[in-house]
A and B are shown apart, each in its own frame.
Chain A
Amino acid sequence: MRHFARDRLLSTLLIVWGCVTLAFAALHIIPGNAIVGQMLQGGATQADIAARQAALGLDRPLPVQYVTYLAGLLRGDLGYSYISQLPVSTLIGEQLGATVMLAAAALLVAVALGLGLGILEAAHTGAWPGRLAGTISVLALSTPIYWTGTAAIFIFSSWLGLLPATGSGSIDHLILPAAVLGFHVSGSIARVTRTILTEVMYADYIRVARAKGLPGQYIFRVHILRASLPPILTVVALQIGFLLGGAAITEALFARQGIGQLLVGAVIDQDYPVVLGIVVLSALVYSTISVVTDILHGILDPRVRENGA
């Protein structure tokens, strides 16, 4: 088990390093576009632009910039925004809370709804509750967030006047975005839950449990659910990566503060340091979550650590 955890951590570190390097290289092939454009518009001379680039360290050779960036990263320094000239870590820090709140609330909705739909579907295959659950989960998977979101705004805030359509801050502002994002993510959780449950349901040891006369409810709760939960948890954890992307759309839709809005703004402005900072952060979060769930999965299920190590 210790070997398994160590190998997994090591390969994750390599992957994160690869991500940072790739994103850094990609975003530095075309250096300082945003600055030049912005400053030329402001009527700056070539000398001013050169001075500004020198101040940001953009005149140095790329390998030096890369090493400086990595060194800064280890201290939690993500560089400075080209546009606002504030530290990227400050910009991200200001927005992080709102996005984490949204993602956590959406995940809660997604897990509750997804597990429920998936279990219904697997337990009643062919019968109407199973079919209904199946249809809802495909619908959840197929409807774009930006459409369900618009519909939700229209119904709950324009028409019924129950919840605010835009903004952030209070719990009321959180309900609609979290429900919309969570509904979409619940689709994939439901489908994976159903697939895993059906696979386990036809395993030999379940047949044995049935043959020796255990009640169906008991088999489902104790044998089937227990064997299925670890892989389902892994898939749920992987959805967090999707939540980060979905948050960008949800935040734009509901005009909420957050990392997603910061990112979309930075992409429009070609503010490379901010884009890079957010990418590095999300690769780090995503990889950490996947390594933690892998190790947890290994603890919960001995088969994984023997095959996976």
Chain B
Amino acid sequence: MRLPPGDVFVFVVSRTDRLKVPLAVLATIILATTLAPVIAPYDPMAITGEPYQPPTREHLFGTDTLGRDVLSRTLFGGQQSLSIVLIGVAIIILPGTVLGMSAGFYGQWTDRLLMASMDILLAFPNLLLALVIITLLGSGGWQIAIAVGIAGLPAYARIARTATATTRNALYIDAARAIGVRSDRLLSHHLLPNVLPLLLSFAAVSLSWTMLNSAALAFLGFGGDPSVPNWGVMLAEARYAFRVAPWMSIPPGLAITATVMAVNRLADASQERFRNRT
């Protein structure tokens, strides 16, 4: 049996009530972020009133330390925060799939070498590895994306390897090999579609780690220019202002939590479907 990629998507998305809520939440967050220039009431960098204002009609979520509008900064903050997450996840998924699948498929020394290096990276606690990379690269959005990407890579590559290694000996792979399908085509056309659902659900798990870790690095002060809105940076500012303006931490914290929770739910549901199918 061989699923074309289109079917995999349908298989994950269709007829799943449990997926509707998290998908709707994610769509709302992404839409609100991309449409920030249109729907945000103020310029996120501009000082629009007194600092530390409680929520009012003019400022629905109040104002921050400098008197900037918290709602506008949260909407715009998604642009940097989510871009970092997307770049980080791309750094995890693209090399992770290639490395993990080749290790699992070819076995022998390719497998040993690749997995030994992944094991070494896995022995560093995740956030610590990211901090080492930040030490080398310095602060900034790109730097955070690269750091969380590399830190998340080994766990993903390991999953991709295991999934491929267990599918490699399936009967349909033997059959394809017997009729003379070449290795690279075997990998891309026969193995990949079958491990894809599992890879997708672990990619979602990686995405939730990437969100939490990248916001943590921004929170710790490695985000570069602090005037550019970012959820992690906003939480750091709110932490220092919690006595005077406790409401400051609610919008960015809620945005991070909603994103991570929706993605986790998505991973759960697709994993369950995958388990039911096999």
Binding site for B on A (CB under 8 A): 14-16, 18-19, 22-23, 26-27, 29-30, 138-139, 141-147, 149-151, 153-154, 158, 241-242, 244-246, 248-249, 252-253, 263-264, 266-268, 270, 272, 275, 278-279, 282-283, 286-287
Neighbouring A residues of B219 by C-beta, 8 Å: 144, 146, 249, 252
Q: For residue A278, which residues in chain B have a CB less than 8 angstroms away from its CB?
A: 128
Asked whether, in the complex, the Cβ of A147 is within 8 Å of the Cβ of B253, the reply is yes
- A268 B221 Cβ-Cβ under 8 A: yes
Known: A27-B135, A144-B257. A286 touches B119 (CB 8 A): no
Q: How far is the CA of A23 from the CA of B125 in the complex (A)?
A: 13
Check A19 against B124 for contact (C-beta < 8 Å): yes
Closest 6 CB pairs of A and B: A245-B127, A147-B253, A142-B261, A18-B120, A142-B260, A241-B125
Is B89 positioned at the interface, with any CB of A under 8 Å from its CB?
no
B155 to chain A, nearest CB (A): 11
Q: What chain A residues lie within 8 Å of B243 (beta carbons)?
A: 158
Supply 16 further A-B pairs (C-beta < 8 A) apart from A22-B120, A26-B132, A249-B220: A15-B123, A18-B117, A27-B135, A30-B136, A138-B265, A144-B216, A144-B256, A241-B126, A244-B125, A248-B128, A249-B219, A267-B135, A268-B221, A275-B131, A286-B124, A286-B125
| Interface members, chain B 203-251 (any A CB < 8 Å) | 208, 212, 215-216, 219-222, 232, 235-236, 238-239, 242-243, 246, 249
B131 CB contact (under 8 Å) in A138, A143, A158, A263: A263
Which residues of A have CB within 8 Å of B220? Answer: 248-249, 252, 264
Contact yes or no, B238 A248, CB < 8 A: no
B255 (CB) vs chain A CBs: closest residue: A147
Nearest Cβ in chain B — how far from A147, in angstroms?
4
Chain B residues, CB < 8 A from A19? 120, 123-124
Determine if B264 is an interface residue (Cβ-Cβ < 8 Å): yes
**B residues within 8 Å of A by Cβ?**
116-117, 119-121, 123-128, 131-132, 134-136, 208, 212, 215-216, 219-222, 232, 235-236, 238-239, 242-243, 246, 249, 253, 256-257, 260-261, 264-265
Q: Do residues A143 and B242 form an inter-chain contact, with CB atoms below 8 A?
A: no
Chain B hits for A143, CB < 8 A: 253, 257, 260
Q: Which residue of the partner chain, among B120, B212, B246, contacts A154 with CB atoms under 8 Å?
A: B246
Min distance, Cβ A290 to any Cβ of chain B, angstroms: 8
B242 touches A138 (CB 8 A): no
Q: Compute how far the CA of A138 lies from the CA of B268 in the bound complex, rounded to whole angstroms.
A: 10
Our pick among B124, B239, B246 for the contact of A146 (Cβ within 8 Å) is: B239
CA distance A149 to B222 in the complex (A): 19
Closest to B212 in A: A144
Give chain A residues whose Cβ lies under 8 Å from the Cβ of B246: 150, 154, 158
Q: Which residues of A contact B117 (CB under 8 A)?
A: 18
What CA separation (Å) do A18 and B119 show in the bound complex?
A: 9
- Interface contact A244-B128, CB-CB below 8 Å: yes
Q: Determine whether the beta carbon of B249 is less than 8 Å from that of A142.
A: no
**How far is B222's CA from A142's CA once the two chains are assembled, in angstroms?**
22
Closest residue of chain B to A240 (Cβ to Cβ) is B125
Q: What CA separation (Å) do A267 and B144 show in the bound complex?
A: 13
CA distance A253 to B131 in the complex (A): 17
Q: List A contacts of B256 (CB < 8 A).
A: 144, 147
Q: Which of A14, A29, A264 lies at the interface centre, i.e. has the most chain B CB atoms within 10 A of its CB?
A: A264
Taking the closest CB of chain A, its distance from the CB of B242, in whole angstroms, is: 5
Q: How far is it, in angstroms, between the C-alpha of A158 and the C-alpha of B219 when the chains are bound?
A: 21
Task: Give 26 A-B contacts (CB < 8 Å), ordered by A residue.
Answer: A18-B119, A19-B124, A22-B121, A23-B132, A26-B132, A27-B135, A30-B136, A138-B265, A139-B261, A141-B264, A144-B215, A144-B256, A145-B216, A146-B216, A146-B219, A146-B232, A147-B256, A150-B246, A151-B249, A158-B242, A242-B127, A248-B220, A267-B134, A286-B123, A286-B124, A287-B123
The answer to whether A253 touches B132 (Cβ under 8 A) is: no
Query: Inside 8 A of B126's CB, which chain A residues have their CB?
Result: 241-242, 245
Which residues on B sit within 8 Å (CB–CB) of A264?
131, 220-221
